[in-house]
């Protein structure tokens, strides 16, 4: 017997929603599931609850086609895709991945799965999570055996800000607990993915995703470390990197105020927590990147000490350029600290928001970049948003400028 839905996607966030929608626009019958009722209502209205260029158009098309429906509970489907958060808890002693959302997603489908179903984990996860997913499901279904179902890990790799393009054009990895599961997952993603899909086992797929983000973190840490060395030696790091990158086998990334977002600053910890004695470089890189906001604050304090009551303009709060996402943003943590230390004399500019987030409300002023610069003694560029890059350099004359992104070089 076939199910009403081809695919049931659990979790309608930054990954689940675009994935569910693109399948729907390619003719698959999709049920999107989220525990938050407001999210479900918004999507069923053809609207979105997160910001991503053109996602609103895709979701509207998917809902209007009749192929995408949202609900708070899963229903029978041929394939289940789990795209829920996998955060981690960090204290002085240990780093612990939190798989509770994956576990409750698996438990939530136990009463609707049928033998023959394919169950895919898309969430970025520690090695071994796909096997755990199988075990959690079978615990709920004592009359079934593992062979009744197909389990695979197909990690997402799309870049916030260009998700819809990358969803279609990025190569993918399909890692199965069995070769048949990997093959079935591959055939499913071929529905919309125009790039190559590589088959492997689930554990390799899990580590591949963590490796990609750790690779980037380590490389950004190198750039950040060089920027701190340059500050100490009074050398312009941007000039240095430009020159070093003229070597045919050198390609140093950009230093910044630190590494933010939910992926690159998190995923390396999954490797560190699994192999703490081996993952020494990965852990050090994480710590170097985490130390960068404090370094920038030190630079600002040093310059501010030259003024009696300095007015500081902070340009950018988002975790990276041209997105509106303020979560896990080093720029936010710097601005929050400055608000505590300089209070009313801090002007924050973030073109993607209309009001200050709670942690800054009443403690700083939200302003437009040009006005803020005109009023400021010290200008701190924290995010290289396009409008900031376009600002006339002349208005920066007579100001102390701390450009953490090398945007005005
Ligand atoms: N950053 C720098 N210097 C650089 C590049 C980035 O400081 O040269 C900072 C950014 O400002 C930001 C952070 O690093 O704070 C991360 O930004 P990003 O654009 O490098 O990556 P994310 O977190 O938006 O998305 C990453 C991507 N992974 C890789 O590029 C290996 C994306 O492909 C993944 O799908 C995503 O993580 C994810 O979901 O895992």
Q: CA nearest 140: which of 74, 185, 219? A: 74
Q: Tell me which fold the domain 234-403 belongs to.
A: Rossmann fold (3.40.50)
Q: How far apart are the first and last CA of the chain?
A: 64
Alpha carbon distance 367, 350 (integer Å): 8
CATH 3.40.50.720 domain residues, the chain: 5-195, 234-403
Q: Whose CA is nearest to atom 14 of ligand 1?
A: 259
Distance of CA 177 to the CA centre of its chain: 26
**How many whole angstroms from 132 Cα to the centroid of ligand 1?**
28
- For residue 198, the tally of other CB atoms under 10 A from its CB is 15
Task: Report how far residue 314's alpha carbon sits from residue 383's, in angstroms, rounded to the nearest whole number.
Answer: 9
Strands 95-97 and 88-90: antiparallel
Q: Contact at 8 Å (CB) between 123 and 83?
A: yes
Ligand 1 atom 8, closest CA: 254
Atom 1 of ligand 1, residue of closest alpha carbon = 259
Q: Write out the chain's pLDDT in tens, 409 residues.
A: 456 899 999 999 999 999 999 999 999 999 999 999 999 999 999 999 988 899 999 999 999 999 999 999 999 999 999 999 999 887 766 778 999 999 999 999 999 999 999 999 999 999 999 999 999 999 999 888 878 999 999 999 999 999 999 999 999 999 999 999 999 999 999 999 999 999 999 999 999 999 999 999 999 999 999 999 999 999 999 999 999 999 999 999 999 999 999 899 999 999 999 999 999 999 999 999 999 999 999 999 999 999 999 999 999 999 999 998 998 999 999 999 999 999 888 999 999 999 999 999 999 999 999 999 999 999 999 999 999 999 999 999 999 999 999 999 8
Q: CATH for 5-195, among 1.10.460.10, 3.30.70.120, 3.40.50.720, 3.40.50.2300?
A: 3.40.50.720
Do β-strands 150-153 and 172-176 pair in parallel, antiparallel, or remain unpaired? antiparallel
Q: Is 252 exposed, middle or buried (0-12, 13-18, 19+ CB in 10 A)?
A: middle
Q: Which residues line ligand 1 (CB under 6 A)?
A: 124, 156-160, 212-213, 216, 220, 253-254, 256, 259-261, 263-264, 319-320
């Amino acid at each position: 017997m076939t199910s009403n839905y081809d695919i049931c996607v659990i979790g309608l966030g930054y990954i689940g929603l675009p994935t569910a929608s693109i399948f729907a626009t390619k003719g698959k019958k999709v049920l999107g599931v989220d525990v938050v009722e407001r999210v479900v209502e918004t999507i069923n209205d053809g609207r979105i609850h997160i910001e991503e260029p053109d996602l609103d158009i895709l979701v509207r098309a998917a809902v209007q086609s009749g192929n995408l429906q949202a609900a708070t509970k899963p229903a029978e489907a041929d394939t289940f895709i789990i795209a829920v958060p996998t955060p981690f808890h960090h204290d002085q002693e240990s780093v612990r991945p939190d798989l509770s959302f994956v576990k409750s997603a698996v438990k939530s489908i136990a009463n609707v799965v049928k033998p023959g179903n394919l169950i895919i984990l898309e969430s970025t996860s520690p090695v071994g999570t796909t096997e755990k997913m199988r075990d959690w499901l079978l615990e709920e279904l004592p009359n079934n055996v593992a062979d009744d179902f197909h389990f695979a890990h197909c990690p997402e790799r799309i870049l916030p800000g260009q998700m819809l393009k990358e969803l279609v054009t990025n190569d993918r990895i399909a890692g199965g607990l069995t070769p048949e599961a990997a093959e079935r997952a591959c055939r499913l993603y071929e529905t919309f993915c125009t790039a190559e899909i590589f088959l492997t086992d689930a554990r390799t797929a899990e580590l591949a995703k963590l490796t990609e983000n750790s690779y980037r973190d380590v490389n950004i840490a190198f750039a950040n470390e060089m920027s701190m060395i340059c500050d100490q030696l009074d050398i312009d790091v941007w000039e240095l990197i430009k020159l070093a990158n003229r070597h045919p086998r050198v390609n140093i990334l950009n230093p910044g105020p630190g590494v933010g977002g939910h992926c690159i600053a998190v995923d390396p910890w999954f490797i560190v927590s699994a192999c703490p004695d081996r993952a020494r470089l990965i852990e050090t890189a994480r710590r170097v990147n985490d130390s960068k906001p404090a370094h920038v604050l030190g630079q600002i304090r040093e310059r501010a000490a030259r003024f009696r009551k300095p007015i500081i303009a902070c340009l950018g709060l988002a975790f990276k350029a041209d997105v509106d996402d303020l979560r896990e943003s080093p720029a936010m943590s710097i601005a929050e600290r400055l608000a505590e230390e300089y209070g009313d004399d801090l002007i924050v500019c973030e073109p993607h928001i209309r009001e200050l987030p709670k942690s800054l409300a009443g403690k700083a002023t939200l302003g437009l970049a040009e006005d803020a610069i005109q009023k400021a003694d010290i200008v701190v560029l924290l995010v290289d948003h396009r409008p900031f890059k376009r600002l006339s350099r002349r208005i920066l004359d007579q100001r102390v400028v701390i450009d953490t992104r090398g945007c005005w070089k």
